[in-house]
């Protein structure tokens, strides 16, 4: 019998390396298990790369298994060298505590913590490392792992030339001890991680093997790196990473990020990121083939993701701003929404408070020359805060300042500029 969950994960392309494919499938057929994924609090928000293993765990939860989410209060203080070419800077304890709190809040948007049978559990590895002594660490755990074994790991060997501190070198053992701890105390049988976590996951299995008898059975698998068909890096825009925190990446920007997915990637992302069913995704895939210009798959992806992370309200705001920018009619937007809508547009500073529109266009380099600026105005190509301005003598002044701070100028159909007055 094939396991329906495994079949679904395979179809979604979520299984990369597995320590024991058959063993894990058998386990999942026989029992409801607990499984875990960890995240280090290196920032005060997760970004969309972090959520792929989380969403995968959520799929397990929907199938009746129990997710255990580890926030690395201890490991965050050490720094995982996996997938990094240089040593990390250490964060202070206060920063880490703050980050842990922020991340915990975000996990609530993805998981169900309430279900009596298999509600998600949250753990922090600082709870078992905070008071461990050096002697205990070296005698009880250091002895379990051979240096040669550790040097065999890509994440370690690849850093030997460029430099790797003893601190980061031990990271894999610390994470391995987590797996062992969760195995013993939370009955966790499977660890999931991004593709760079293979080395750390297998160290955990090694620790479990060494501290238990033959009967101990634990598994691990990694998830492939999310890629883009054009070869550029997924999840990054010119403005940086796409964060879950709405203050860092507004719901509108978040929505736009997904909406801009290429046709070549959109079906893959629907599988990885959404909880739409196979039939629903296949129907959308069909539309990418037959009526790609309608971008229904992208719109669905963007709506699903924005709703998941920012709720109905966030989605509504994103749709409202999107519609306003598309039609050029900004009147429906509040000053606050204007700020969100234009946070990504080029902002230019001008010095004079009250400026003739033509001069302003030139000074802010919105139009390339004075002649062009005049033409733009008379042709009706210029609007100020969404209102067309065709009068060459128009003065942009305090009445045009949104929140007393900025003015939105549009040139042509889609080019927006935020003008600030200094």
Of 257, 234, 232, the closest CA to residue 244 belongs to: 257
Residue 255 marked in a binding site: no
How much of the chain is helix, strand and coil, in % rounded to 5? 50, 15, 35
Angle between helices 251-259 and 296-327 (to 10 degrees): 130
Note whether 80 binds ligand TYR by CB under 6 A: yes
Residue 171 marked in a binding site: yes
Note whether 200 binds ligand TYR by CB under 6 A: yes
Distance (Å, rounded) from C-alpha 19 to C-alpha 39? 21
Least gap, CB of 270 to ligand TYR (angstroms): 24
Copy the structure tokens of residue 89. Answer: 């800077």
Note whether 192 binds ligand TYR by CB under 6 A: no
Q: What does 164-229 look like in DSSP terms, one character per residue? A: --HHHHTHHHHHHHHHHHHHHHS-EEEEEEEGGGHHHHHHHHHHHHHHS-TT---EEEEEPPPB-T
Note whether 70 binds ligand TYR by CB under 6 A: yes
Distance (Å, rounded) from C-alpha 200 to C-alpha 150? 10
Copy the structure tokens of residue 63. Answer: 């199938």
Maximum CA pair distance of the chain?
A: 86
Copy the structure tokens of residue 17. Answer: 């390396």
- SS3 of 334, please? coil
Q: Which stretch binds ligand TYR (CB under 6 A): 15-23, 70-78, 244-252, 395-403?
A: 70-78
Location of structure tokens 């800077």: 89
- SS3 of 316, please? helix
Note whether 206 binds ligand TYR by CB under 6 A: no
Q: Which stretch binds ligand TYR (CB under 6 A): 12-20, 36-44, 215-223, 320-328?
A: 36-44
Q: Which stretch binds ligand TYR (CB under 6 A): 33-41, 158-166, 233-241, 318-326?
A: 33-41
- Closer residue to ligand TYR, CB minimum distance, 79 or 251: 79
Q: Which one of 39, 96, 100, 389 is in contact with ligand TYR (CB under 6 A)? A: 39
- Closer residue to ligand TYR, CB minimum distance, 168 or 253: 168
What values do phi and psi take at 72, rounded to 5? -85, 70
Residues 297-336 touching ligand TYR, rule: CB under 6 A, are none
Indicate the DSSP class of residue 92. Answer: P
Distance (Å, rounded) from C-alpha 343 to C-alpha 15? 37
Distance (Å, rounded) from C-alpha 254 to C-alpha 251? 5
Q: Which one of 25, 35, 38, 308 is in contact with ligand TYR (CB under 6 A)? A: 38
Residue 61 marked in a binding site: no
Least gap, CB of 381 to ligand TYR (angstroms): 49
Distance (Å, rounded) from C-alpha 403 to C-alpha 421? 12
Least gap, CB of 234 to ligand TYR (angstroms): 16
Q: Which one of 40, 44, 376, 400 is in contact with ligand TYR (CB under 6 A)? A: 40
- Closer residue to ligand TYR, CB minimum distance, 191 or 385: 191
Copy the structure tokens of residue 136. Answer: 């205990």
Note whether 168 binds ligand TYR by CB under 6 A: no
Note whether 400 binds ligand TYR by CB under 6 A: no
Note whether 118 binds ligand TYR by CB under 6 A: no
Distance (Å, rounded) from C-alpha 96 to C-alpha 111? 22
Residue 126 marked in a binding site: no
Q: Which stretch binds ligand TYR (CB under 6 A): 37-45, 257-265, 292-300, 400-408?
A: 37-45
Note whether 54 binds ligand TYR by CB under 6 A: no
Note whether 41 binds ligand TYR by CB under 6 A: no
- Closer residue to ligand TYR, CB minimum distance, 44 or 178: 178
Note whether 175 binds ligand TYR by CB under 6 A: yes
Note whether 106 binds ligand TYR by CB under 6 A: no
Task: State the number of binding residues for ligand TYR (CB under 6 A).
Answer: 12
- Closer residue to ligand TYR, CB minimum distance, 123 or 321: 123
The set of residues, in sequence order, having a beta carbon less than 8 Å from that of 200 and lying 6+ positions away, is 80, 82, 155, 171, 172, 175, 176, 193
The set of residues, in sequence order, having a beta carbon less than 8 Å from that of 412 and lying 6+ positions away, is 381
Least gap, CB of 245 to ligand TYR (angstroms): 18
Least gap, CB of 187 to ligand TYR (angstroms): 16
Distance (Å, rounded) from C-alpha 184 to C-alpha 129? 15
Q: Which one of 44, 168, 178, 400 is in contact with ligand TYR (CB under 6 A)? A: 178
Note whether 199 binds ligand TYR by CB under 6 A: no
- Binding residues (CB under 6 A) for ligand TYR: these are 38-40, 70, 72, 75, 80, 125, 175, 178, 197, 200
The binding site for L-tyrosine consists of: 36, 171, 175
């Amino acid at each position: 019998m094939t396991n329906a969950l495994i079949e679904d994960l395979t179809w979604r392309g979520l299984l990369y390396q597995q320590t024991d494919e058959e063993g894990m499938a058998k386990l999942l057929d026989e029992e409801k298990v607990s499984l875990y994924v960890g995240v280090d609090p290196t920032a005060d928000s997760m970004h969309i790369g972090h959520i792929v293993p989380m969403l995968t765990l959520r799929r397990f939860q929907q199938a009746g298994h129990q997710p255990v989410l580890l926030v690395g209060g201890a490991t965050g203080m050490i720094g995982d060298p996996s997938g990094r070419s240089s040593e990390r800077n250490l964060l202070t304890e206060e920063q880490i505590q703050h980050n842990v709190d922020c991340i915990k809040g975000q996990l609530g948007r993805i998981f169900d913590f309430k279900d009596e049978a298999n509600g998600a559990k949250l753990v922090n590895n600082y709870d078992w490392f905070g008071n461990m002594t050096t002697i205990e660490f070296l005698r009880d755990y250091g002895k379990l792992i051979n240096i040669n074994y550790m040097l065999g790991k890509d994440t370690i060997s690849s850093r030997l030339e460029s430099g790797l501190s003893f601190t980061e070198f031990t990271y894999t053992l610390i994470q391995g001890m987590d797996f062992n701890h969760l195995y013993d105390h939370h009955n966790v049988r499977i660890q999931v991680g991004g593709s760079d976590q293979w080395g750390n996951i297998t160290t955990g299995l090694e620790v479990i093997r060494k501290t238990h008898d033959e009967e101990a059975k634990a598994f691990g698998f990694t998830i492939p790196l999310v890629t883009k068909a054009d070869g550029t890096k997924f999840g990054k825009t010119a403005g940086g990473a796409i964060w879950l925190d709405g203050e860092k990446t507004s719901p509108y920007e978040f929505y736009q990020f997904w909406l801009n997915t290429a046709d070549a990637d959109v079906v893959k992302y629907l599988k990885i990121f959404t909880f739409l069913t196979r039939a629903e995704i296949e129907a959308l895939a069909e539309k990418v083939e037959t009526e790609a210009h309608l971008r229904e798959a992208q719109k669905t992806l963007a709506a699903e993701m924005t709703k998941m992370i920012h709720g109905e309200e966030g989605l509504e705001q994103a749709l409202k701003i999107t519609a306003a920018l598309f039609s050029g009619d900004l009147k429906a937007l509040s000053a606050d929404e204007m700020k969100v809508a234009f946070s990504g547009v080029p902002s230019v500073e001008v010095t004079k408070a009250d400026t003739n529109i033509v001069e302003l266009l030139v000074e802010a380099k919105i139009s390339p020359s004075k002649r062009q600026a005049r033409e733009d105005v008379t042709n009706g190509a210029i609007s100020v805060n969404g209102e067309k301005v065709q009068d060459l003598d128009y003065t942009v002044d305090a009445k045009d300042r949104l929140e007393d701070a900025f003015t939105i100028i549009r040139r042509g159909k889609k080019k927006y500029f935020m003008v600030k007055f200094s």
